[in-house]
Amino acid sequence: MASRLKRSRGWIVKQALSAWIAQEEERDRLTQKALVDVDAGRVAGRQAMQAWLETLGKHLTPPRRWK
């Protein structure tokens, strides 16, 4: 790959690590944001989710996110 891109192996590794770190940071940011919503009670209840799951294939409207 390095020769095809005319880059050093070190450059390839650095790019791959940078992309992976950015992806992991974004995943962590989204997880923390979701946990704030959970702590604030902004979640769909079990019954709402179950009812929505039973309609899969019939329509694409998910349950309301907030109680």
Question: Residue 12 and residue 66: Cα distance in Å, rounded?
Answer: 44
pTM value is 0.61
Radius of gyration of the chain (CA): 21
Q: What is the pLDDT of residues 42-58, one digit of tens each?
A: 998 899 899 888 888 77
Tell me if 8 is assigned to some domain. Answer: yes
Tell me if 34 is assigned to some domain. Answer: yes
- Structurally, the chain folds into a number of domains equal to 1
Q: What Å distances lie between residue 41 and 5, 16, 31, 37, CA to CA?
A: 49, 38, 15, 6
Tell me if 15 is assigned to some domain. Answer: yes
Q: What is the pLDDT of residues 7-64, one digit of tens each?
A: 899 999 999 999 999 999 999 999 999 999 999 999 988 998 998 888 887 766 666 7
